[in-house]
């Protein structure tokens, strides 16, 4: 079994814990590294920011390199007011918040690939972690993380008003820019995935300052959790 490991930015990717110096290969200007982490065979890549970069990298890991599962390690902005910087969110539900139709001034989310505006407003548009995977992840990391709803979109959120709207509309816990795209590709391939995010900021007006201060520590925490999860994904069938 081979696990694909993805991070979006250098601050996240540099914290991944290789057992030994990995080998490298470049495809379509993306550097892929091969080796082991926690004695598990992995292929890892820094995908770059955004859904297209994440989708392309995931597709290459699954389709070209033949990875059996995908795990993402990185940071996110907090949306749920009960969480604070440094808290860990594992994606139990993941939604592309910027895919859908704008109706009467409100974005109505839709299942990516469906025709926007042709679905019921109450339809579940999330990618879900299975109950079996949730239990396996929780057994591996204990109560160290929260399982929650993560939003993905191609906009960095640094607006308190929008963060409050996201919480009101989606009951979301965190927001980022890659996870749901990875989930969509993995679901099309029928491959398991886990999205791990540690809050580096609270997605409000001060986000840029918080992000710069906490991104390294949050990325390190995420990488440590992913290291514990690799044997779970390696054994998954």
Query: How far is it, in rounded angstroms, from Cα 96 to Cα 178?
Result: 9
> In which residue are the tokens 């918040």 written?
97
**124 belongs to the catalytic site:** no
Q: Which is catalytic among the residues 12, 87, 92, 176?
A: 12
Residue 88 near residue 144 (C-beta atoms within 8 A)? yes
For the record, the structure tokens of 63 come out as: 């389709």
CA distances from 115 to 108, 109, 110, 227 (A): 12, 11, 8, 38
**92 belongs to the catalytic site:** no
Query: How far is it, in rounded angstroms, from Cα 172 to Cα 148?
Result: 7
Query: How far is it, in rounded angstroms, from Cα 169 to Cα 237?
Result: 35
Q: How many residues does the chain have?
A: 237
Query: How far is it, in rounded angstroms, from Cα 99 to Cα 81?
Result: 24
Residue 33 near residue 24 (C-beta atoms within 8 A)? yes
Q: Which is catalytic among the residues 92, 176, 178, 201?
A: 201
Residue 4 near residue 67 (C-beta atoms within 8 A)? yes
Q: Considering only CA atoms, which of 224, 41, 76, 226 is closest in space to residue 150? A: 76
The region that residue 38 occupies, defined by phi over 0 for left and psi between -120 and 50 for alpha, beta otherwise, is left
Identify the DSSP state of 206: T
Residues belonging to the active site: 12, 201
């Amino acid at each position: 079994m081979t696990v694909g490991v993805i991070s979006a930015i250098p601050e996240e990717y540099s914290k991944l814990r290789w057992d030994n110096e990995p080998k490298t290969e470049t495809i379509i200007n993306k550097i892929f590294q091969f080796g082991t982490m926690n004695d598990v065979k992995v292929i890892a890549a820094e995908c770059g920011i955004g859904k297209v970069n994440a989708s392309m990298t995931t597709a290459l890991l699954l389709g070209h390199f033949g990875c059996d599962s995908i795990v993402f390690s990185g940071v996110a902005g907090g949306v749920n007011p009960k969480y604070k910087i440094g808290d860990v969110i594992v994606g139990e539900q993941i939604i592309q918040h910027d895919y859908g139709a704008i109706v009467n001034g409100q974005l109505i989310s839709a299942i990516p690939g469906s025709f926007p505006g042709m679905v019921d407003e109450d339809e579940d548009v999330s990618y879900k972690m299975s109950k079996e995977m949730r239990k396996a992840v929780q057994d591996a990391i204990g109560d160290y993380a929260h399982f929650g709803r993560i939003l993905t979109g191609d906009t960095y959120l640094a607006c308190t008003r929008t963060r409050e709207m996201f919480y009101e509309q989606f009951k979301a816990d965190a927001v980022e820019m890659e996870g749901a795209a990875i989930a969509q590709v993995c679901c099309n391939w029928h491959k398991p995935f886990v999205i791990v995010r540690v809050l580096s900021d609270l997605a409000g007006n001060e986000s840029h300052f918080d992000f710069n201060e906490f991104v390294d520590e949050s990325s390190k925490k995420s990488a440590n959790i992913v290291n514990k999860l690799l044997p779970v994904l390696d054994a998954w069938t």
